[in-house]
Every structure is written in structure tokens, then in C-alpha cells.
Amino acid sequence: MAEIDALYQALVLEHNRNPRRYEVLEPCTHRASGRNPVCGDRVELYLRLDGAVIEEAAFQGEGCAISTASASLMMEIVAGREAAALRELFADFEDVLRGRRGPDEVDLGGLAPLANVRGFPGRLGCATLPWETLLRALEA
């Protein structure tokens, strides 16, 4: 288990150093801003939708390694997926982070490296900020 934790930690650090889709997406059809007042993380999310499907996504912002890695991992997941499926994935992810279900009970896919955040309650807002911003963008 320690080897998997180390691998996941390395992946989170890699996404923090080299975030995917860290850019402004123009033109975009949906946009939202998010901020974590506790630690100062902020994210700006840009989406281009075709109906209910996210065609393309990008983000900008600044924050801790967990927040940036969460946004970057999200960028690898969202393109080509329907909004409803992403809402469901976020609900599963949040259940794991808040201890309502174990990481082995749901398929987190590319979000699995962030499951260890559940052991650090003060960092949950960092991991969920990009996803909460995504939900707001989808409602815009």
C-alpha cells in the first residue's frame, strides 16, 4: 500500500508542476470562477460544450499542489463526457473524500491519486474546488 501511496503522491506533484490544459480557452461557452477563502486557492474554468457534452476544457488559477493537481486531473477527464456523468463522478469522489464510501467501493478512474486527501480534512476544499467550479460552469 505504501508503494501505491508514493506513486499517487508523485502523480499529484507532477500535475502540480505541469498542469494539463492550463490556459484560457477562447471561445468558450461556459465559464466560472472559484475561490477557497480558507487557503486562498482560486481557479478560473473555461468550457466549450456541444449540447450536454464537454467538447473542450481549460483552467487557470493559483493554489496549493492539491488544488492545482485536482484541476489538472479533472482536465484529463472532462473532454468528451456528458455533464450528468461528471456530476455523478464528482459525487462519488466527494463521498470518498468525506469518508462516506471507501476508495475501493467506487471507480474514481483518474481521480484515484487524490483519494488520500480524505485523511486530511483541512484539505478537502482544495481537492473539491475545481469540481465545484465545474458544476457552477455547467449551470451558467
pLDDT in tens, 30-53: 999 999 998 899 999 999 999 999
11 band by pLDDT with thresholds 50, 70 and 90: confident
22 band by pLDDT with thresholds 50, 70 and 90: very high
Domain that holds residue 129: 2-139
Cis peptide before 121 (omega within 30 of 0): no
**pTM exceeds 0.85 for this model:** yes
Share of residues in the chain with pLDDT > 70 (%): 94
- Reported as a single tens digit per residue, the pLDDT across 111-127 is 888 988 888 888 999 99
Q: Which of 76, 62, 66, 83 is nearest to 110 (CA)?
A: 76
- The torsion of the CA quartet 82, 104, 8, 56, rounded to 10 degrees, works out to 0
Number of structural domains in the chain:
1
Cα 12 from Cα 87, distance rounded (Å): 22
Predicted local confidence at residue 140, as pLDDT: 76
Residues in the chain: 140
Whose grid coordinates read 483552467? Answer: 59
Cβ proximity of 73 and 113 under 8 Å: yes
Q: Which of 17, 80, 69, 70 is nearest to 47 (CA)?
A: 80
Query: Which is it for strands 30-35 and 53-62: parallel, antiparallel or unpaired?
Result: unpaired
Predicted local confidence at residue 120, as pLDDT: 87
At position 95, the amino acid (one-letter code) is D
Q: What CATH number is associated with residue 80?
A: 3.90.1010.10
- The torsion of the CA quartet 35, 82, 112, 117, rounded to 10 degrees, works out to 20
